[in-house]
Amino acid sequence: MSLRLFLILFLGLSFVILWETSAVASSTAPWLRETSRALAPWLREGGDPSRKKRREDFFSALNQGPSGSDLKTEDLERALARPGSSQSEMEIDSLPWKRFEGEWNRPMQMPLTWPVNRGRITSGFGPRGKSFHEGIDIAGVEGQPIRAIHDGRVVFVGSIRGYGHTVVLYHGQGLSSVYAHNRENLVAESQIIQRGQVIATLGSSGHSTGPHLHFELRRDGKAFNPLTYEYRREDFTQAGL
């Protein structure tokens, strides 16, 4: 057999194999065609300012299912809607702190309720490397109840960049409490909350290394050390305080 004939046969066989492989992939993975069109507009539209992040989130979502054939469009939609994705999220400093002032005017009574029963502080308020930690981290078990430190009104429920699922309560006199990295938020905006009421469950949403509560106190929107206030001793006995 001449070299020329051998090359012709080799190229022809390669073309057939590639064609069959493409046909099999097309017939067994229709979800890839459908979901890429529905959830990845950056594939067909230019000029997306968050293109890189959208692309990363999309392909991260593709790996969520046990196998490609089991993944559905709704699975991808849920993955892309998770905290930390390219969906719209606001910054903590952009909350309308001054607007909260009219939401509650009842006096506070000390001591406050500790938000995680017997939760141990794992990171304090203040400088942390090159950044500044604007609250304290309280360790706990995934799904553990998070409780309101005092009576107040819910002024924010949603996702904040880096904070994940977050609840903000306003307690009057410019004081707000922030509960972040939640697994699930259990309250609604404008809802009146009683001291000790469960408002969320502990989780690891947002920029988090593991299950814990990121807890902040803010006066007129400015964070200060939550340990400035006194908390009920029975709430954190054996919590390492």
- CATH number for 107: 2.70.70.10
Higher pLDDT, 126 or 75: 126
Residues in the chain, total = 241
| pLDDT over threshold 50, residue 121 | yes
Domain end (from 80, 109, 132): 80
pLDDT band at 239 (very low <50, low <70, confident <90, very high): very low
Assess whether 106 and 176 both reside in one domain: yes
Name the packing angle between helices 30-39 and 51-62 (round to 10°).
150
3-state SS class at 131: strand
Put simply, whether the predicted model's pTM sits higher than 0.75 gets the answer no
More confident of the two residues 60 and 98: 98
Say yes or no: 101 and 182 in one domain.
yes
Instruction: Count up the domains in the chain and report the number.
Output: 2
For 178, the enclosing helix (H) or strand (E) is strand 175-182
- Domain span at 216: 92-235
> Could you tell me if residue 240 is inside a domain?
no
Q: What pLDDT, in 10s, does the model give residues 35-90?
A: 444 444 434 444 444 444 544 554 444 444 444 444 444 444 444 444 434 345 78
158 has a pLDDT exceeding 50: yes
Q: Which of the four pLDDT bands, split at 50, 70 and 90, describes residue 211?
A: very high
Mean pLDDT of 183-206: 96
Contact 79, 85 (CB under 8 A): yes
Looking at the predicted structure, is the pLDDT value of residue 225 above 60? yes
